[in-house]
């Protein structure tokens, strides 16, 4: 079971994001911390990928270690959290895995580049071996550049990540069968499905498919939204978050539906009931039998 979630950096939620209809009390860290951990514990993923994590060392790493998760964290080099008074450090991408299910083989932190220039976006790429099947899987978590007008940069960052992953899966760790390691790529791409970076992943030689699209009613469409918020600049409801997987070697068995508009409520996200402006994606995968 894999969970993908942009949990909303605490410093950004309070200091930068200007959620017009979210009461300040709903953004308090102790409240949000409890709700985030509750969501994780509700679904108990074996692999958990998160973005905008600015409480890794004081909260998520120790709490989830106590529940049996190993973890890796990659902070953004110029995190916007550092400009907020009272911040707890940079935000970044974090990857957690259930150590009873998976053994860690390798982990690398990547700083994504665009036109040969390093950007502020990062990725954590971890290779895990399933203890019950002995099969390996390479898991990447990333967060691409936000906002409209930056489509070209997201596309370049996504291409850079795909290039790194193509090189990584060519060299299976601890597996001499020559079979390429299956991939799971979780991220807040900040890109709707019509954007070029989405098309690049869909058409990649790595043979990727989007889990939520695969199990949609027609097998062709992403959810209507993975984030829904109201800022001072207006309301925004869009699909920006994805879980990609290697369709030849992994099968997606189930996905968690997005809550309805009624469940989200008229003030949208975040709220007293939900701690982030992004919804969590949860998918159950299994390894396909080797040919």
Tens digits of per-residue pLDDT, 164-191? 999 988 755 555 566 789 999 999 999 9
Going by C-alpha positions, the residue among 41, 69, 75 that lies closest to residue 56 is 75
CB 131 within 8 A of CB 103: yes
What is the pLDDT confidence band of residue 240, given thresholds at 50, 70 and 90? very high
Determine the structural domain holding residue 15 and report its residue range: 2-287
The pLDDT of residue 173 is 57
pLDDT tens for 208-217 read 999 999 999 9
Across the chain, what does the average pLDDT equal?
Answer: 93
- What's the whole-model pTM score? 0.95
Average the pLDDT over 254-261 and give the result.
Answer: 96
DSSP β-ladder status, 69-75 and 92-98: antiparallel
Average the pLDDT over 182-211 and give the result.
Answer: 97
pLDDT tens for 65-113 read 999 999 999 999 999 999 999 899 999 999 999 999 999 999 999 999 9
CATH number, domain with residue 236: 3.60.10.10
Contacts of 199 (CB under 8 A, 6+ apart): none
What is the pLDDT confidence band of residue 52, given thresholds at 50, 70 and 90? very high
Instruction: Write the DSSP assignment of 61-127 as a string of letters.
Output: HHHHHTTTEEEEEEE-TT-GGGGSTT--S--EEEEEEETTTEEEEEEEEEEEEETTEEEEEEEEEEE
pLDDT tens for 268-287 read 999 999 999 999 999 999 99
Average the pLDDT over 201-221 and give the result.
Answer: 96
The pLDDT of residue 77 is 95
Average the pLDDT over 45-62 and give the result.
Answer: 97
Assess whether pLDDT exceeds 60 at residue 58. Answer: yes
Count of domains in the chain? 1
Phi/psi-derived region of residue 21, left when phi > 0, alpha when psi is between -120 and 50, beta in every other case: alpha
Q: What is the percent of the chain with per-residue pLDDT over 70, rounded to a whole number?
A: 97
Average the pLDDT over 4-33 and give the result.
Answer: 89
CB 123 within 8 A of CB 165: no
Distance in angstroms (rounded) separating the CA atoms of residues 106 and 86? 34
The pLDDT of residue 180 is 83
The pLDDT of residue 104 is 97
Assess whether pLDDT exceeds 90 at residue 115. Answer: no
Assess whether pLDDT exceeds 70 at residue 32. Answer: yes
Looking at per-residue pLDDT, the higher value among 176 and 149 belongs to 149
Residue matched to tokens 């665009």 = 114
């Amino acid at each position: 079971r894999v969970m993908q979630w942009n949990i909303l950096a605490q410093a950004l939620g309070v200091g930068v994001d200007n959620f017009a209809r979210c009461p300040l009390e709903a953004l308090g860290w102790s409240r949000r911390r409890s709700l985030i951990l509750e969501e994780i514990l509700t679904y108990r993923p074996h692999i958990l990928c998160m973005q905008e994590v600015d409480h890794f060392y004081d909260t998520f790493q120790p709490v989830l270690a106590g529940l049996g998760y190993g973890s890796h964290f990659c902070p953004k080099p110029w995190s916007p959290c550092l400009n907020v008074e009272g911040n707890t450090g940079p935000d970044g991408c974090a990857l957690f895995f259930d150590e009873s299910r998976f053994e860690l083989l390798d982990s690398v932190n990547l700083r994504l580049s665009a036109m040969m220039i390093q950007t502020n976006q990062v990725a954590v790429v971890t290779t895990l071996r399933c203890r019950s099947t002995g099969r390996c899987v390479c898991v990447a978590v990333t967060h691409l550049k936000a906002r409209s007008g930056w489509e070209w940069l997201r596309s370049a960052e996504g291409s850079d990540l795909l290039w790194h992953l193509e090189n990584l899966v060519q060299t299976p760790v601890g597996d001499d069968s020559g079979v390429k390691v299956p991939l799971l790529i979780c991220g807040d791409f900040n890109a709707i499905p019509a954007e070029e970076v989405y098309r690049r992943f869909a058409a990649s030689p790595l043979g990727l498919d989007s889990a939520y699209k695969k199990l949609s009613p027609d097998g062709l469409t992403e959810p209507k939204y993975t984030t829904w918020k109201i800022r001072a600049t207006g309301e925004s409801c869009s699909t920006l978050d994805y879980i990609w997987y290697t369709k030849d070697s992994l099968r997606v068995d189930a996905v968690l539906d997005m809550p309805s508009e009624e469940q989200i409520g008229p003030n949208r996200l975040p709220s007293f009931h939900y701690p982030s402006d992004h919804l969590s994606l949860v998918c159950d995968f299994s390894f396909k039998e080797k040919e």
